[in-house]
Structure 1
Amino acid sequence: MTEALAKLYGPQFQRDPGALYEDIRRRYGPVAPVLLEGDVPAWFVCGYRELHQVTTDAQLFARDTRRWNAWDRIPDDWPLMAYVVYNRSIMFTEGPEHRRRATAISDALASVDQFDLGAHCERIADQLIDKFAGSGEAELMSQYAERIPLQAAAVMCGMTEADTPGLVADLVASLDSTGANSMEAFDRVQETMRVLVEDKRELPGQDVPSALLADAANLTGEEIRLDLLLILSAAHQHTTNWIGNTIRLMLTDDRFATNLSGGRASVGDALNEVLWHDTPTQNYIGRIATRDTRLGGQRIRTGDLLVLGLAAANADPHVQAADPGAGGNRAQMSFGHGEHGCPYPAPELAETIAKTSVEVLLDRLPDLTLAVPAEALNWRASVWMRALTALPVTFTPTYVP
């Protein structure tokens, strides 16, 4: 690999990742050599069919990152370290062990009543809107979108509202690939989860960690702590940015702008379109090849790292030619695929949170308008997330008694 390889970081990537994905596909095809932060080499899987193949074949393309053949070149302070260094969370488990853990998580999440979750999200949304409704202006990422998913997830985990502010800050910092303190923040979140599990062991309730503790899989405290961290991280980051990207779409696209007032039917369409064209989770590390193979015309060697290009695969011309957003097509890769994809029913719970959040906002503030030109909105410098740094809006002030 040479300096001419595309970089999945830096100004060009942050400015227009979609254009970069298109250029990578044009130059190399569905599987491409790229450089991650620090010019660390990897393979970028940007073809829809190839991504489906990688995520389906868990034996050839495995999750245990201890197999990675580049560890001797990775510094201890690498910004992406938190997401490749092996731990005993479900993220890195394989085979029967993975299925044991995944089944327990799915069962615990299935115990969440989606109607209750939606009602709780409505209350959270109303309370947040009440705080800024009278001002006629708001910054919807920090004042709204970032707060609802984690508060909802905290309720599912039996946490108090007082626990969430510090947890939000640490989760955001831990997922910031450009931040110098990402590992420290990651460690603080793990400690919060450890305390939560111990509290639930002493006083169980009707919540996800209590269900995991009682599951027949006989999970250890460490397993539950690590898996709860993943659940909260996914609930917060993916759903927060799904909300933000959907509000942006509905405020900038004429197809949706005319339906803002009372247009609940269009919210579902906008949410699905965002998953196809502006998905919150852009890329994911990833998979490690367990033997030499060929994929998308490239020779992959044992131990090579593959980055799952979720957004790029959704934009694959072979898929886009069929107008994937039409008719509620849900075959996008935004939640991954295969046994290491987002566990059922997590996508449904995320959609409940996101849909309720957008609907309540548009019901309460039907004349919502961007406070800046759409092209002035900025995106976070993250290889993982397609996330707005801010979403400033204006609206007619509403008196809240």
Structure 2
Amino acid sequence: MTERLADMTGLTPLTEIAASPDLHGTYARLREQWGYVVPVLLEQGRRHPINGWLLLGYREILDVVQDERRFARNPELHWRDYVEGRVDPDSGLAPMMFPRPNAYFADGETHQRLRAPLDQGLLELDQHAMARRIRAICTELTGDFVGRGHADLVAEYAAHIPMVTVANTMFGIDMEHSRRLHEGLLALFGSGADSQDGYLDVQRILTDVIAARKKAPAADMTTAFLRHPNLRDDTEVMQEMLLMISAGYETTTIWIARALLLMLSDPRFSGRIRGGTLGVNEALDEVLWRDPPMTHMPARFPVMDCRIGGRQITRGDALILGLAAAGSDPRIHPADRANWWQEIDNRAHLGWSAGPHTCPAKGAARTIARIAVETALHELPGVTLADPDAPIPLVPSPWTRLPACLHVRFPTASSAPKTVGGIR
């Protein structure tokens, strides 16, 4: 096929793919139609449709993310639709795909300079203190509804945990502003009409926090970023904060919610509470294979014409990494192995991407998610899905599959069983 990506019409919207109730079935149908590199609609746009290539293959994604010389991250220099002004200035794609002065959108030496403060800040975290803080937060949250007998484990639990641990504990942002951050980040990841308003509100909050820390430094990462020699001004400090907080908020909430859903709906995992074989760590790993926190990761841009998966790609095309699709690549997990998800301790997934831009916080995120899932199962003995047959609604987004709710029931304290099976 020689048709230019920008000229293609009638393509499947990326948001529609992400919202599919049978995500991996959708990927299988797309592979049958297009192969491992699929043209998709990123946004309709007022003047032009904005298209991209969705990579559905494990090897194709790995080749792209490990080759910085041929595939760049900076859209200001390398995304043709952006450079040529085809993307609307108020596009819903802006918060996730427009250039920002942080490590996510940088390449080469600039990326190394901006990545160093993130790596150093995470390395200096007191992991034991953080674990104690997370466990206390989770116990306090479940205590708010344990006597009620029912709860929404997204709105009342999973969404609050990263808000407190990342924004409040790590960056010293008070709870009122943390809640506003949560709302702004939901809009940002949604890439809808309100995404830029959400992004601007997040910027305002972080700018205020930076101003406060300049006047009163504290033992938090905001102060550490302000003091780091690699960050040249307040804009870079704010953008580094935004990068870490946005990654920690949405993705950790999704990981917790997805792991809880798996533990409560799949007998291989729910049986663990009663002495079965698979536990929380296995559930966390399976989520990273099947439904990772970032379903589709934007974006890489080829710096020269090339071929990927047998398809001709033009310099400046937007490449979207199908991180969830990589997990069901039939060349990695053959289709006749229906239970391939049961591969225990296999962490070769691409749930955190790979290469120089691999997620720097995957260790901290696992600590948060593991303690959150363990605590919920321990503090809510007998917990079950309120309606096991009901579909789980998703928050609309082309990039993520955050459950909009996770309604559960459980015996109240007076009627709960006295003992609960161990949780690994």
TM-score bracket for the superposition, by shorter chain length: over 0.9
AA aligned opposite 2:172: G
AA aligned opposite 2:120: D
Query: For 1:169, which of 180, 183, 193 is the aligned residue?
Result: 183
Q: Deviations over 1:13-47 (max 9, x none)?
A: 43333222221122222222222231421111111
Change in Cα spacing, 1:82 to 1:308, as seen in structure 2 (3 Å) is: same
Please say if 1:68 is aligned against 2:74: no
Change in Cα spacing, 1:41 to 1:394, as seen in structure 2 (3 Å) is: same
CA distance in 1, matches of 2:323, 2:331: 15
Residue 355 of structure 2 corresponds to 338
TM-score of the superposed pair, with normalisation by structure 1:
0.94
Please say if 1:157 is aligned against 2:171: yes
Cα pair 1:371 1:392 within 8 Å, conserved:
yes
Query: For 1:364, which of 361, 374, 379 is the aligned residue?
Result: 379
Deviation at 1:375, TM superposition (A): 4.0
Residue 390 of structure 1 corresponds to 405
SS at match of 1:228: helix
Query: For 1:378, which of 381, 385, 393 is the aligned residue?
Result: 393
CA distance in 2, matches of 1:23, 1:265: 31
AA aligned opposite 2:354: H
| Regions of 4+ moved over 6 Å | 262-265
Cα pair 2:170 2:221 within 8 Å, conserved:
yes
Please say if 1:326 is aligned against 2:343: yes
Please say if 1:355 is aligned against 2:366: no
Give % identity: 33
CA distance in 2, matches of 1:160, 1:270: 32
CA distance in 1, matches of 2:19, 2:263: 24
Query: For 1:113, which of 112, 120, 126 is the aligned residue?
Result: 126
AA aligned opposite 2:13: K
Change in Cα spacing, 1:131 to 1:263, as seen in structure 2 (3 Å) is: farther
Please say if 1:310 is aligned against 2:323: yes
Query: For 1:233, which of 222, 243, 246 is the aligned residue?
Result: 246
Q: Which runs of 5 or more residues in structure 1 are unaligned?
A: none
Considering only aligned residues, what root-mean-square deviation do their CA atoms show, in Å? 2.1
Cα pair 1:287 1:306 within 8 Å, conserved:
yes
AA aligned opposite 2:208: V
Equivalenced residue count is: 397
Q: Which runs of 5 or more residues in structure 2 are unaligned?
A: 1-6, 415-424
SS at match of 2:279: helix
Cα pair 1:9 1:383 within 8 Å, conserved:
yes
Cα pair 2:114 2:231 within 8 Å, conserved:
no
SS at match of 2:80: coil
CA distance in 2, matches of 1:12, 1:352: 27
CA distance in 2, matches of 1:195, 1:12: 34
TM-score of the superposed pair, with normalisation by structure 2:
0.89
CA distance in 1, matches of 2:379, 2:276: 12
Please say if 1:100 is aligned against 2:113: yes
Cα pair 1:14 1:379 within 8 Å, conserved:
no
Change in Cα spacing, 1:16 to 1:380, as seen in structure 2 (3 Å) is: farther
AA aligned opposite 1:223: E
Cα pair 1:101 1:217 within 8 Å, conserved:
yes
In the TM superposition, what are the counterparts of 1:128-143 in structure 2 within 5 Å? Answer: 128-143=141-156
Cα pair 1:371 1:394 within 8 Å, conserved:
yes
Cα pair 2:58 2:327 within 8 Å, conserved:
yes
**Larger mean Cα displacement after TM superposition, 307-316 or 66-75:** 66-75
CA distance in 1, matches of 2:40, 2:387: 34
**Larger mean Cα displacement after TM superposition, 11-20 or 77-86:** 11-20
AA aligned opposite 2:81: A
Cα pair 1:288 1:303 within 8 Å, conserved:
yes
